[in-house]
Amino acid sequence: MTSNYAMAARLRGHQDGRPVPGRYPLALGDRGGLLAVPSTAGTSPFAVLVMLHGAHGNADGMIAAVSPAIGQRSPLIMAPESRGRTWDGLFGGAADLRTIDAVVQKIADRFPLDPTRIAIGGFSDGASFALTVGLANPGLFTHVLAFSPGFFVPPQPPIPRGQCVFVSHGRGDLVLPFERTGRAVVDQLAALGIETAFHPFDGGHEMPPALIAVAVDMWLEGDPA
């Protein structure tokens, strides 16, 4: 089975929009989502992170988790929410993907985005969906940040090259056991020839702040992870 989750969103270039700092609701139908614009936002092309929650999660939780690692930098954070308890794309649906696609395009149409720093990330089910969608869209997403993923659907050939892929997973994870999920995911990526910055840690089903900082630095600064 391979992924057919290609997105239509494209960066336009030459926009002059400057977002006003704050948090804004995303128009996502039955559920919500947030666009977070930092107080340091300027007029330069913006890095963007699309951050996907785990099952039963929400946008507030994702933004709260990654914001401390952002510091004084000025990316845009999009945190959509799945229509159901988790992302329908993990089970063959496409509604959540279409919504994410439309919102990314809306932001790309309004603001100048940095094509070298467009990331998709997530936690747990959100990490699984981020890997699936990110690898299927290498022309859009330069970075994939997966915190405790359970699995991913491999992309259709040709296999993407040049993406920066980060994976972290707790060795003591009781929700998604390390050897059957985190380790297996990294082994599967390696078998496809996809290089991965893998960070196992002594902990459970969580996103340690220190590892969020490592992933964010890889995305925003190009630091080796």
Q: How far apart are CA 160 and CA 43, in angstroms?
A: 31
Residue 26 in contact with residue 32, Cβ under 8 Å? yes
pLDDT score at 2: 47
Other CB atoms closer than 10 Å to residue 217's CB: what's the count? Answer: 16
CA distances from 123 to 21, 22, 162, 206, 212 (A): 25, 23, 23, 8, 11
Residue 121 in contact with residue 49, Cβ under 8 Å? yes
- Structure-block tokens of residue 130: 């981020």
- Structure-block tokens of residue 211: 């590892």
Q: How far apart are CA 225 and CA 124, in angstroms?
A: 20
**DSSP reduced 3-state for 218:** helix
Sign of CA dihedral 69, 72, 77, 79: positive
**DSSP reduced 3-state for 191:** helix
Report residue 49: phi and psi, to 5°.
-120, 120
Report residue 109: phi and psi, to 5°.
-75, -25
pLDDT score at 77: 94
Superfamily of domain 22-221: Alpha/Beta hydrolase fold, catalytic domain (3.40.50.1820)
pTM of the model: 0.93
First-to-last alpha carbon distance for the chain, in angstroms, is: 29
Sign of CA dihedral 215, 216, 221, 222: positive
- HSE toward the beta carbon, residue 176, CA cutoff 13 A: 23
Q: Where are the domains of the chain?
A: 22-221
DSSP readout, 53-76? --TT--HHHHHHHHHHHHTT---E
DSSP readout, 120-140? EEEETHHHHHHHHHHHH-TTT
β pairing state of 33-37 and 22-25: antiparallel
pLDDT per residue, tens digit, the chain (225 aa), is 445 788 998 887 656 667 788 898 887 655 678 999 887 766 678 999 999 999 999 999 999 999 999 988 889 999 999 988 999 999 888 989 998 898 898 888 888 899 999 999 999 999 999 999 999 999 999 999 999 999 999 998 888 888 999 999 999 999 999 999 999 999 999 999 999 999 999 999 999 999 999 999 999 998 777
pLDDT score at 40: 72
Residue 80 pairs in a beta bridge with: 33
